[in-house]
Structure 1
Amino acid sequence: MGYRLPFVTTIATFLLLIAGALVVGFDAGLACSDWPLCNGHIIPPLEGKIIIEYTHRLLSTGIGFLMLANLYFAWRKRKESPIVLKLVLLSFVLLLFVAVLGGINVLKKLPPGFTAMDTSFAILLFSTFVVLTGVTLANFRKKQGEFREDRQVRAMFKPALIAAIAIYIEYVLGAFIKHSDAGQVWVNGKMNLLNNIISTPAIATTLMYVHVFATLLIVFSSLWLYFYARLRKVMKNQAVTLLILLALQPITGFITVVAHLAVITNVIHMTIAALMMALAVFMVVEAKLGANLLLTADKDSKVVSGSKQSAVNLG
């Protein structure tokens, strides 16, 4: 199985995450009052908030078809790469959870907590396809003779995994705060938004401080990953990119708070978090496989040649 189809599916899932953030931001979750139809129609009148919610549903359907294509090719190559088939089957389970939770959100009129659960499974689905893209890319490079194992890359596994876990925890917390209206209660003091989960302003405040603590955890884990990359002299560009994305997170978060939870800045904030998740997960895959998958064959050759030349000079 090639890496292009999983990569396209990863991009589509990323767009689904953005569409979901827009649905929440514009309060369009109930623009379609039923499920799986939209206001009793397969194709409803495309106007107002219905466009946002219906686009989100179309993306979900499109991803379903892409996953069927992934399943077809993974099944054909199951003997060659069993892990690829397992990852595709896992993605179907996660998509089922996302679809069921989405249906519950519509039919039960957005019960507190369920939208955050939906988002949590969606980011896991996204991460699964990032892993699938990394594994199939590694298989492709092995066939091309471009796969270069490096023990220094393998040593990056632990810090990369910790960073990925920290980012996921922060992402889930952020989604829960957003979808439970804890942010609105804390920032704007809107008591009418209190619900059976965020029942007091004190709970909203506590959640916000936990969110800040989770962000600090990401800072420390990302810095550890960066310094480890410098020490091992591998994946430095990826580690730097993660730090840049991390630096943008509090900026967009601050603007979101100052702008009283503006939709666009909140979506950008979520998008950056998803990109951080993707990069950290991809680095975990690289470390597990023991190869920098973003290096080209030419760069690999230069690295090898440079090592040999250094050895000659030392001799």
Structure 2
Amino acid sequence: MRSLLNRLAWITSIGMFLVLIMGTLVTKTGSSAGCGKDWPLCNGKFIPDYTLSSLIEYSHRFVTGIEGFLVLGVFILVILKFKQRDAIIYASSALFFTIVQAVLGALAVQWPQSAPVLALHFGFSLLAFVSTLLLALVLQDAKLIAGNKRAASTPKTITAGFRRLVWFTWVYCYVVVYVGAFVRHTNSSGGCVGWPLCNGELVPEITGAQGIVFVHRLAALALFGLIAMIAYSAKGNKQGERNHFVTQWSFYLVSMQVLSGAFVTFALGTGWYLTAGMIHALIIACLFGALSYLGVLVRSKSN
């Protein structure tokens, strides 16, 4: 049963990642109004007439619906068959955030929403994805479950300071993600032309779209610095092979995220803009997942 549940959890996690990316595609292509103000139907139909915007929007709704049933099924199986505290927490949070992001999506269709509220939609989708990812990892590897005997007998080599740094970076990364989503939903991407300078200035005037993009760049730079500190600390101390591997990949991913942000800037007004934006969203989802995994690894092993 555990093997079957683990496979189902991985399928659910991959599905949630697909929902996340498809949601980004809806936003980037301006397809959120592709089904009008109808929900869950599309322009009053179960199978809508073909237009590109309706196809993108309705495909996102369809996949989200299937994913919702998968999340619910995994949640029920975990509660009934796998009564481990961490697994129950992750299954419950996956179900909660899936419901929240679905409700926000429905509300956005029915009534106009402000950019700050719309940005939360991506943030909750990201939390739903991370919850399914951690659930799959916990089911696959019992050593990840807090309080397990094997972990308790392992020498404590991770300092409390390192653990606090990891979790602070995790929270801060979510803030950076939110600001990035806010940039998209306010259509501010063109506020800064050029990279790394903003409209030819090192520190431009912090107003309007220019200010929003510049604040996001500063926040992303600080995130790069924090993850570099984590990678350096893990390399200089005996943090464990698994932790060192995840910190390395976190640093690779944040480096790629910075470069993909530059790609988005240079692609403005070209046919590459959509591709650049999708790559940017894909990498940040992977980075947030890696930081979440690292947080679980260090949670129960600090001095």
TM-score, normalized by length of structure 1? 0.79
Q: Which amino acid aligns with 2:176?
A: E
1: CA distance, partners of 2:265 / 2:227 = 24
Per-residue deviation at 1:159? 2.6
2: CA distance, partners of 1:141 / 1:163 = 20
Superimposed CA distance per residue, residues 82-135 of structure 1 (whole angstroms, 9 cap, x where no aligned partner):
332233222222122111110111112454333211111111111222332333
Kindly report which structure 2 residues correspond to 1:127-146, keeping only aligned pairs within 5 A, or say none: 127-139=130-142
Unaligned ranges ≥5, structure 2? 195-204
Unaligned ranges ≥5, structure 1? 189-199, 292-315
How many positions carry a matched residue from both structures? 277
| Secondary structure of the corresponding residue to residue 40 of structure 1 | coil
Is the alpha carbon distance of 1:290 and 1:42 closer, same or farther for their aligned partners in structure 2, counting shifts above 3 Å?
farther
1:258 aligned to 2:266? yes
2:290 — aligned with what? Answer: 279
1:157 — aligned with what? Answer: 163
Per-residue deviation at 1:153? 4.8
Per-residue deviation at 1:18? 0.8
1:51 — aligned with what? Answer: 55
1:224 — aligned with what? Answer: 229
Is the alpha carbon distance of 1:161 and 1:114 closer, same or farther for their aligned partners in structure 2, counting shifts above 3 Å?
same
1: CA distance, partners of 2:192 / 2:236 = 42
Q: Which amino acid aligns with 1:272?
A: I
Is the alpha carbon distance of 1:179 and 1:187 closer, same or farther for their aligned partners in structure 2, counting shifts above 3 Å?
farther
Superimposed CA distance per residue, residues 254-309 of structure 1 (whole angstroms, 9 cap, x where no aligned partner):
12112216111011011111110000100111112449xxxxxxxxxxxxxxxxxx
1:248 aligned to 2:264? no
Per-residue deviation at 1:185? 4.6
1:270 aligned to 2:281? yes
Q: Which protein is bigger by CA-based radius of gyration?
A: 1
2:129 — aligned with what? Answer: 126
1:77 — aligned with what? Answer: 81
2:104 — aligned with what? Answer: 101
| Secondary structure of the corresponding residue to residue 113 of structure 1 | helix
Let me know the Cα RMSD of the aligned residues.
2.7
TM-score, normalized by length of structure 2? 0.82
1:203 — aligned with what? Answer: 208
Superimposed CA distance per residue, residues 157-186 of structure 1 (whole angstroms, 9 cap, x where no aligned partner):
223212222221111110011111122355
| Secondary structure of the corresponding residue to residue 21 of structure 1 | helix
Per-residue deviation at 1:207? 1.9
